[in-house]
Amino acid sequence: MAQKFYTLPLKPIAFTSNNEHKTCSIKDSIGAFLHLLATTYFGECTFDETFGNALWDVDFDNLTSNDRLRGIITDSIQDSINQYEKRLGGVDVEIKLTQETSSIRSNQTIARKRIDIYITGKIKQTNESFSYVESFYIAPISF
């Protein structure tokens, strides 16, 4: 029997009213779960306070070097994927941190750190290569 992978967000009403819930491929399902894992901070899920990653613990840390931050974030995301995403094997996580500045007014500039998360691995069920990229900004600083 083929497995069904449901799209996020889950809509429980579809299950309770005998309607079909939207489904997706295993790659899309893993991608959606990795997005959820990357955007969740430790303690946010009250049923499992270890779900998430340490990125949000260092979000506004401007004193630690980028290399140290990269290491903390990489290790945390790698550990969380190994613990919670059992459909992937041989997972490798790479983090790229860059600082970007932009003018919001003629006399005001905002500097933000951009984080790019690259995740690769193999889907255990199909032995297919898998890759995922997530990018977002952290630590807004204005000056």
pLDDT of 61-109, one tens digit each? 666 677 888 898 999 999 999 999 999 999 999 999 888 887 777 777 7
Give dist(CA 40, CA 63) in Å, integer.
Answer: 23
What is the sign of the dihedral through the CA atoms of 13, 17, 22 and 25? positive
Q: What is the DSSP letter of 140?
A: E
Q: Which residue has the tokens 């983090």?
A: 95
The pLDDT value recorded for residue 129 is 97
Please check whether residue 89 is in contact with residue 124, taking contact to mean a CB–CB distance below 8 angstroms.
yes
Q: Is the pTM here over 0.85, yes or no?
A: no
CATH of domain 22-142: 3.10.450.40
Does residue 141 carry a pLDDT above 60? no
Please check whether residue 122 is in contact with residue 128, taking contact to mean a CB–CB distance below 8 angstroms.
yes
pLDDT digits (tens, 9 = 90+) for 4-51: 888 888 888 888 888 888 889 999 999 999 999 999 989 898 899 999
Is 29 strand, coil or helix?
helix
Tally Cβ neighbours within 10 Å of residue 128. Answer: 11
Which residues lie closer than 8 Å to 121 by C-beta, 6 or more apart? 88, 89, 90, 91, 92, 129, 130
Residue 142's pLDDT band (cuts 50, 70, 90): very low
CA atoms within 13 A on the CB side of 24: 13
